[in-house]
């Protein structure tokens, strides 16, 4: 069983950075997505840079300030120049994000990613916002820069890259779920896939996170689960092979070309 263990939101806050570092160091995380516009992005990268984890760009257009001039991207920001929140965007009846504007910000975040890391992101995707124009902007910027755009939820993308997204969990009224039932009970539907992506949000709580994210208690819970003996035992018993996005794509395209 091949699984890509992905941790999102590197750079969101100090607490998130610490949780992701722990899940990489003591857990199975193989990939983590950096949010280049966030103030803790550089600090987060420094924490994981020598761990061997694959670092992608987790493009963020709904938390904090943009890297572009707010005057050039009015469809993405409020009157204060900060990004509109994901809650505000979800409440809209139509996609009001302007493609040309979002591409400016995506490229600006790619430029910052390169400045922080000194290299291209291993994979390229987006945070929280379900907008067709955002997705198209990510695809366009990835294509212009020769990057691996990732969308395992899209059946066509999955077919072309040999990677499928695990089934999503359902959060309870406290914003939590049972990771043992999800993984060990195969609510994630891993056993019928050749290579799955499991997305986690490890982290520890700090004030910035509490003020700016609806994902709070779930983060330390997932951190503890990812570093648990129970997960290590399950991976060993099920002969789980942890994969990265680039490693899996090379493997799949090599097989596909034979």
Write out pLDDT tens, residues 135-191: 999 999 999 999 999 999 999 999 999 999 999 999 999 999 999 999 999 999 999
DSSP 139-198: HHHHHHHT--B--TTSHHHHHHHT-EEPPPP---TTS---HIIIIIT-TT--TT-SEEEE
Say which DSSP state 128 is in.
S
Q: 206 near 13, Cβ under 8 Å?
A: yes
Q: How confident is the model at residue 93 (pLDDT cuts 50, 70, 90)?
A: confident
pLDDT of residue 87: 87
pLDDT tens by residue, 206-251: 999 999 999 999 999 999 999 999 999 999 999 999 999 999 999 9
pLDDT over 50 at 258, yes or no: no
pLDDT of residue 256: 56
Give mean pLDDT, residues 16-41.
98
CATH class (in words) of the domain with range 2-256 = alpha beta
So where are the chain's domains? 2-256
Q: How confident is the model at residue 109 (pLDDT cuts 50, 70, 90)?
A: very high
b/e burial code for range 15-45 (CB count within 10 A of at least 16 → b): bbbbbbbbbbeebbbbbbbbbbbbebbeebb
């Amino acid at each position: 069983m091949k699984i890509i263990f992905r941790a999102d939101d590197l750079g969101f806050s100090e607490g998130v950075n610490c949780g992701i570092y722990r899940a990489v160091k003591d857990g199975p995380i193989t990939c983590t997505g950096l949010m280049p516009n966030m103030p803790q992005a550089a600090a987060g990268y420094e924490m994981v840079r020598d761990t061997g984890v694959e670092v992608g760009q987790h493009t963020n257009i709904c938390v904090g300030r943009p890297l572009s001039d707010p005057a050039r991207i009015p469809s993405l920001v409020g009157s204060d120049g900060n990004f509109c929140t994901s809650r505000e965007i979800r409440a809209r009846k139509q996609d009001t994000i302007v493609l040309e504007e979002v591409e400016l910000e995506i490229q600006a975040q790619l430029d910052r990613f390169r400045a922080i890391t000194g290299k291209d992101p291993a994979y390229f995707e987006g945070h929280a916002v379900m907008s067709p124009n955002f997705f198209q902007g990510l695809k366009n910027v990835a294509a212009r820069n020769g990057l691996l755009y990732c969308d395992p939820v899209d059946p066509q993308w999955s077919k072309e890259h040999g990677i499928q997204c695990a089934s999503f969990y359902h959060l309870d009224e406290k914003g939590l779920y049972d990771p043992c039932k999800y993984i060990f009970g195969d609510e994630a539907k891993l056993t019928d896939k050749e290579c799955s992506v499991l997305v986690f949000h490890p982290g520890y709580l700090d004030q910035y996170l509490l003020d700016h994210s609806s994902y709070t208690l779930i983060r330390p819970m997932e951190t503890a689960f990812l570093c648990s003996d129970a997960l290590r035992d399950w991976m060993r018993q099920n002969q789980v092979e942890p994969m990265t996005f680039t490693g899996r794509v090379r493997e799949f395209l090599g097989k596909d070309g034979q």
